Amino acid sequence: MKSSLLGHLVLLALSSILVSGSKYYIHIKWGLTWEEALDFCKRHYTDLATISYESEANSMDLKQYQVWSGLKKDKEFYNGWRWSDGKFYAPDWATNEPNKGSCATVNFKNKKLYAKSCDTHRMFVCWNVTGYTFVKEAKTWNDASNYCRNYHGNLASFRSNDMNKIFTQQDFPLWVGMRREAGGSFTWISGYSEYKNWKTGEPSNMGNCTTISSVTKLMATEDCRVRLPFVCTQEGNINVILVKESKSWEEALEHCRGLNSSDFGFDLISVQPGDEQENIMNKVMEADTKEVWTGQRFLGDDWLWVDGENMLNTSLNQCPMQEQHCGALPKNYTGSIEAKDCSERKNFLCYRFPL
């Protein structure tokens, strides 16, 4: 599944620690203040992340990011989109993009462009004649553009074949659920944990809230008012949805994507080896049909996941019969998704991911 759990989510199963089930870490790639992040996590998941062990921290994949580029919708400009430097570079949009947003982000994982609301706070990349600068504080598109003009030229404009050189791995901070208490000590806000992995010179007096770095996993203090990406925890999984309506594959895809909201996107599920198989199969066994649709589809002479996730392996026929171009997960699943006629009517699995 995306980012190891349902799209842009980060998964770490800890059933040996939580008696009630599994504990998941969800990496939110847009930015909020520490208090806003805490409120968001409590409303949509369980809490802002508490880390109990070094192995937990090291197992989290926090390297993914989605940052502002210098591309913005402009009806007066050619093709309806304009780069901040006024030049024309053909944008390399992701599948089904540009969608509803008016400002373009770059996804580090697949180096594709996505249209998002300009009012969300995201990290960004500036450009001037000396090169590209990755800014690790999240701002709206307009504020990011103004920041770049004041310090680094413009929000980044680029050709598609330069994206791999520009959008490289970055070590950036993310909020976690630790803050300074009245007595001066730092404590986790939920659960019992003594885990601390401070960067050299930390904790400092720079702020009362705590970040973890995306690559080194070192912790540092920060002003709680700064907007940063963050990590939530979820006890038990609410992100896989079984829809007990019998639809064709195309109808199922349309149904999942039609659930999108301002905070979350939905898609037909992608299933990777090792990903939360027990939870998924529990959902499948509740279905009213023998199989449920997944997001696997045969297109362009190959099997793919419609959410863009990598096809790590498949035992499906590479030359399927013409009508059997859609992947279904059977109740008697033994490790292989089955190729089915896309017009067959089945229940299906949607997953939820933060936008």
Q: What is the pLDDT of residues 221-265, one digit of tens each?
A: 999 999 999 999 887 666 788 888 899 999 999 999 888 766 677
Q: Looking at residues 87-103, what average pLDDT do you find?
A: 87
CB contact burial 96-126 (16+ within 10 A = b; e otherwise) = ebbeebbbbbbbbbbbbbbbbebebbbbbbb
Report domain extents, the chain.
2-63+171-235, 66-166, 240-354
CATH fold, domain 240-354, is Mannose-Binding Protein A; Chain A (3.10.100)
Residue pLDDT, tens place only, 121-146: 999 999 998 999 999 999 999 999 99
CATH ID of 66-166, from 3.10.100, 3.40.50, 3.30.43, 1.10.3470: 3.10.100
Q: CATH topology of 2-63+171-235 equal to that of 240-354?
A: yes
Beta-ladder partners of 28: 230
CATH number of 2-63+171-235: 3.10.100.10
pLDDT greater at residue 53 or residue 174: 174
Q: What local confidence, expressed as pLDDT, does residue 204 receive?
A: 92
Residue range 185-224, pLDDT digits in tens:
999 998 789 999 999 999 998 899 999 999 999 999 999 9
pTM of the prediction?
A: 0.71
Tokens encoding 241: 């949805």
* DSSP secondary structure letter of residue 119: T
Residue 210 is predicted with a pLDDT of 98
Which residue bears the tokens 């594709």?
A: 112
